Structure 1
Amino acid sequence: MFKRIYLLFLVYAPMMANADPLIKYQHLPTDATEMPFFSTEQQAQQRTVEYNNAIDEIDTALEQCESAECDTLKQRQSDLEYAIDDHQEKNGASITSWLGGPAYTPEVGLMVAAGGLFSFSTAREQQALQRSSVSLFVVGTQGDAGVGYGIRSKQNLFFDNNDTRFTGTLTFSDDAENYWGVGYDKGKAQDASADTLMRNTALTYDANLAFKNDYGFYFGPALRLKYYQADENDIPLTAQQDDDFNEFKDKPLSIGLGITLNYDSRDVTVNAWQGQYFNFEYINYGSNIGSDNDYQKVLIDYRYYHSFKPGRVIAFYNALQWSDGDVPFYDMPTLGGSFSLRGLYAGRFRDNNAIEHTAEYRHTFLRDNGNLSAHGMTVWTGIGSVAGDTDTDSNRLYEDLLYSYGFGYRYELQPRMNVRIDFGFSADDSGFFLTFTEAF
């Protein structure tokens, strides 16, 4: 009799285990510190499949569970959904995420954006290597000048235990924007209207390649490419009567080469919680390399991040832009947009010099178990100003202050890589921004 019961147990025990996903997948860790690193990509991929199977089977079990059991299943499913991201990050797995939705910015009006974020490791065996990422957005716009379109892409690539880095930013648009002219006074002179709206085709590509030296600094070459062509049939009064526009309207191409020198102690480049970043860039634009214009630009950029506790971060951004020579209006230092003084119209205030200071508080909400969730919010405020290149004008950098403030929602689409939805406000403009990664 005992043997018969024992045999029945051996037969049905695996079936009972298979019927209960809590038992069947209890070997899957949910604590990031307990995640194993697999020696091969195939093993890591198999573990990803196990996580997904467990989540799917709990979904099925939830359809038939009772209330008390449901809570346990839901908690386990939530833990597994967060754990799969930690597993993929630790094992250097490639992750692709898609995103789409409406937005509104002061520059283009209503827009619909669709795109993706692809992250990966260039050497999965290097555990300290930051994840590389490439984002791409296709944007359709509907503003006062009709339908427009654009492409936006960012590349952050890390190699050789973070000792070699490449950053790139690409924007292309066939759209319309408002043009006020150069200087604070022109930006303040009037509101956006048909008299300021100018249709154009524009392309920008910025690229930095940096290598870490023995002193802990990154140093390397930088490339800048800017093309801006206004529609000759649709030039507004503000441009027709503007000397800066008329001087450079037939010189649409600027090409610059230079150097970048920076120090970076941030824990994660695209979403820092701790550390500092100091960056110096010098770019020379010249006809000897194909540029239509001859001038030079300098950027000094300092950022500081401090975490009071997990998920509670205060971040500071400070930047000084300087330019000299025959600087075209379309490549002058500006403030505003989705990365600088959000809520201020990008390009409304432009001049040979610009300065900005922004402080931001970032808050990640906690889950029921006390761990960080994928949801967060942020609030910020910032000030800045623009000034000309003469001694008198440059002293006005802090005289005519511009400001921006706002709040936003964050969703961690991939480990330490957020979808950013920001609502920004200023004295003259406001905006609703949808994009990947933090503003700074």
Structure 2
Amino acid sequence: MFKRIYLSVLILAPLAATADPLIQYQHLPTDVVDMPFFDTEEKAKQRTDEYNSAIDAIDDAIDSCKEEAACEKLNQRQSDLEYAIDDHQEKNGSSITSWLGGPAYTPEVGFMLAAGGLFSFSTNREEQDLQRSSVSLFAVGTQGDAGFGYGIRSKQNLFFNNNDTRFSGALTFSDDAENYWGIGYDKGKAQDSSDDTLMRNTSLTYDANLSFKNDYGFYFGPALRLKYYQADEDEIPETATLDDNFNEFKDKPLSIGLGVTLNYDTRDVTVNAWEGQYLNFEYINYGSVIGSDNDYQKVLLDYRYYHSFNPGRVVAVYNALQWSKGDVPFYDMPTLGGSFSLRGLYAGRFRDNNAIEHTVEYRHTFLRSNGNLSAHGMTVWGGIGSVAGDDSSLYENMLYSYGVGYRYELQPRMNVRIDFGFSADDSGFFLTFTEAF
């Protein structure tokens, strides 16, 4: 079974009927140390085609293999070559496109079917230490208590100038339904989700950060936040009609914010760190002067720590404080839950002016028979958090989540993530690209 599941164009050299693929393709290295860096993209692509041709030829040989020892040798060589393609393409800055689709279940939308792709590349293949840039795009169809819904999700992580210039973006659009409990811990705990809390809406969110590294090792730059949320007037539940914040902001659907981000980052790979630390501060000001319907401020303080005590054995720690002040609309208040925060807790069930979270995760990558890391892994995590109207009340009413997950390395250091999360009030099954943090 191919490790690679994306589509490739294969240029197959004709093989003689008696050719032994183990001999014909013995020149192809499988250790990254032995792999050359080609001076042109065309030469790098030719080597990729050679790897694919070798895998295809060995696959044919396996089909006609009779002796167990010979078959085992063929299988091992094929597996080595399949992993070697990743190392070759990463070393040579080649672009890779992967496709993924499948079912999932989340507490927010119910059952869903997602299909999309991940495109990774190097913005300058001559810079050997430059992190790979990536763009993911998912189309999602959902079937929940409110009927059919749909959405689009995309993430962009771009690296330039020896990693000294970075851009990150996240886009979500949906026409769907969600449960709305109101503001505060007590309202989130007051009742379970039902038709009495279900509210259909159209929403669009886009977050973007552009940062530049200074002489002191810090990244600094501008940040943009865009949030549009329009509830369907015909499907507003009682939990919303009786909520003061909802009534104040239901006709003010657009929030636009500009601000700054300052962070210190020593992670080895941004999208899937094994070692390093990340300390991030963001300040965003939303105001009518730039077209926003609402005037308020938000601050995010985010600290992450990663330690690998053995190859493929990583402990990851996530801490985040969200703070807001002013006329903050219900649809942009700090929240907990979803696929990136306290997984298994309904995203938005608990929202207020302030939120805090602490999560610890253990990430384990399984080994192949030759002792190298495989493409398969698993995780376990546990986290706590709380929301409050003011920061002095944080930690008074604690929430928690825990879960397990499966990881598949679709591209070098870029995983497909399947998580099963649980909390006291909800549970969820999440399918997406990249790690939660």
TM-score, with length taken from structure 2: 0.96
Selected match of 1:414 from 411, 414, 425 = 411
1:398 and 1:284 map into 2 onto residues whose CA distance is 26
User: Could you say what secondary structure the match of 2:81 adopts?
Assistant: helix
1:207 and 1:130 map into 2 onto residues whose CA distance is 19
Amino acid at match of 1:235: I
Deviation at residue 34 of structure 1 after TM alignment:
1.3
Amino acid at match of 2:429: F
**Partner residue, 1:425:** 422
**Partner residue, 2:64:** 64
2:270 and 2:111 map into 1 onto residues whose CA distance is 30
**Partner residue, 2:260:** 259
**Partner residue, 1:400:** 397
Deviation at residue 47 of structure 1 after TM alignment:
0.3
Establish whether residue 330 from structure 1 lines up as the match of residue 327 from structure 2.
no
**Partner residue, 1:27:** 27
User: Could you say what secondary structure the match of 1:395 adopts?
Assistant: helix
Q: Report the RMSD for the aligned CA atoms in angstroms.
A: 1.1
Identity within the alignment, %: 85
1:358 and 1:401 map into 2 onto residues whose CA distance is 13
Amino acid at match of 1:176: A
Going from structure 1 to structure 2, the CA distance change for 1:18 and 1:282 (only over 3 Å counts) comes to farther
**Partner residue, 2:217:** 216
1:321-400 mapped onto 2 (5 Å cutoff): 321-389=322-390, 394-400=391-397
**Partner residue, 2:153:** 152
**Partner residue, 1:273:** 274
1:117 and 1:31 map into 2 onto residues whose CA distance is 25
1:186-335 mapped onto 2 (5 Å cutoff): 186-335=187-336
1:206 and 1:84 map into 2 onto residues whose CA distance is 34
1:81-100 mapped onto 2 (5 Å cutoff): 81-100=82-101
2:166 and 2:123 map into 1 onto residues whose CA distance is 11
Amino acid at match of 1:104: Y
Tell me, yes or no, if the aligned pair for 1:32 and 1:83 is still in contact at 8 Å.
yes
2:408 and 2:123 map into 1 onto residues whose CA distance is 25
User: Could you say what secondary structure the match of 1:77 adopts?
Assistant: helix
2:321 and 2:197 map into 1 onto residues whose CA distance is 27
**Partner residue, 1:10:** none
Amino acid at match of 2:34: E
User: Could you say what secondary structure the match of 2:93 adopts?
Assistant: coil
Tell me, yes or no, if the aligned pair for 1:197 and 1:236 is still in contact at 8 Å.
yes
Establish whether residue 76 from structure 1 lines up as the match of residue 73 from structure 2.
no
1:67 and 1:307 map into 2 onto residues whose CA distance is 38
User: Could you say what secondary structure the match of 1:19 adopts?
Assistant: coil
User: Could you say what secondary structure the match of 1:334 adopts?
Assistant: coil
**Partner residue, 2:170:** 169
**Partner residue, 1:436:** 433
Amino acid at match of 2:318: Y
Deviation at residue 18 of structure 1 after TM alignment:
6.6
Amino acid at match of 2:285: N
2:165 and 2:253 map into 1 onto residues whose CA distance is 33
User: Could you say what secondary structure the match of 1:158 adopts?
Assistant: strand
1:32 and 1:269 map into 2 onto residues whose CA distance is 21
Deviations 1:132-175 (A, max 9, x none): 00000000000000000000000000000000000000000000
1:203 and 1:34 map into 2 onto residues whose CA distance is 47
Deviation at residue 38 of structure 1 after TM alignment:
0.4
2:28 and 2:135 map into 1 onto residues whose CA distance is 30
Structure 1 unaligned segments of length 5 or more: list them.
1-14
User: Could you say what secondary structure the match of 2:393 adopts?
Assistant: coil
1:112 and 1:16 map into 2 onto residues whose CA distance is 45
User: Could you say what secondary structure the match of 1:55 adopts?
Assistant: helix
Larger radius of gyration: 1
Deviations 1:235-273 (A, max 9, x none): 000001110100000000000000000000000000000
Amino acid at match of 1:228: Y
1:33 and 1:210 map into 2 onto residues whose CA distance is 33
Deviation at residue 395 of structure 1 after TM alignment:
2.2
User: Could you say what secondary structure the match of 1:245 adopts?
Assistant: helix
User: Could you say what secondary structure the match of 1:70 adopts?
Assistant: helix
1:114-125 mapped onto 2 (5 Å cutoff): 114-125=115-126
Tell me, yes or no, if the aligned pair for 1:180 and 1:239 is still in contact at 8 Å.
yes
2:227 and 2:25 map into 1 onto residues whose CA distance is 54
Deviation at residue 16 of structure 1 after TM alignment:
8.1
Amino acid at match of 2:353: N
TM-score, with length taken from structure 1: 0.95
Deviation at residue 299 of structure 1 after TM alignment:
0.2
2:421 and 2:183 map into 1 onto residues whose CA distance is 23
User: Could you say what secondary structure the match of 1:124 adopts?
Assistant: coil
Tell me, yes or no, if the aligned pair for 1:17 and 1:23 is still in contact at 8 Å.
no
Deviation at residue 17 of structure 1 after TM alignment:
10
Amino acid at match of 2:43: Q
User: Could you say what secondary structure the match of 2:270 adopts?
Assistant: coil
User: Could you say what secondary structure the match of 2:385 adopts?
Assistant: strand
Tell me, yes or no, if the aligned pair for 1:17 and 1:24 is still in contact at 8 Å.
no
Amino acid at match of 1:259: V
Tell me, yes or no, if the aligned pair for 1:410 and 1:418 is still in contact at 8 Å.
yes
Runs of 4+ displaced beyond 4 Å: 15-18
